Structure 1
Amino acid sequence: MPRLSARVERPLAMTLGGAALGARTRAGLTQAEVARRVGVQLEVYGRIERGEMFPSVPTLRRLCVTLGIGSDALLGLDGALEPQGSRPGEARELRRLTSAAKGLSVAQLRLLHRLAETLHPSAPE
């Protein structure tokens, strides 16, 4: 399989490394914890996070699962694929809201829904 040129690979590796660092920090994990969960050596994960190497596709998938971040975000594509007609950043903010809501109880979700309806009432049915 042809290798990406260093000119293309380095910026992509840097983007992925920065996103992985941010996601790891938000998750409150150490490099050692992520490396263990992903199944790579600590040194390898450190190189990925510093943008010195690009992970294989299976490792990229395990990174996404471990860090709780989508591959689009790790690859720097999350803002590039905004739905047509949406405001800049809207899709990203909806993903953040959805992620935050996943741990809520049913009662808390109902309250969140009421709050959202109050802030932006839907058209009468």
Structure 2
Amino acid sequence: MAEPQGRVRVDAWAWAVRLFPTRSAAGAACRAGHVRVNGERAKPATQVVPGDEVQIRGAGRERLVVVHRLLVKRVSAEIAQASYLDRSPAPVPRTQVAVAAQRDRGAGRPTKRDRRAIERLRGR
């Protein structure tokens, strides 16, 4: 296990603790502004130290983690989870799943009235 002393790039750390599937995805999220370190927007080369708070927006939810251990290389899931404290809010429950508009087979093309009803269902 690679545990450096001092500081580590936020993109490398987020990838190493399995918050992103690839390091390039972690860097892209940083460049897009989806990663914050201690409340400040983070570039991929932003350095993190133990005690820093990292916010990550993506995949429909927000993650808030506190750095406990610095890692540079990807490690097992158990070690990765022990390297940070997850303070993420609980995901919002989906109260209602939108029903996809379905037409009977052979019903033909939707009428103008049908199209408007479909748009209302989709929220447009």
TM-score (norm 2): 0.30
Larger proportion of strand: 2
Larger proportion of helix: 1
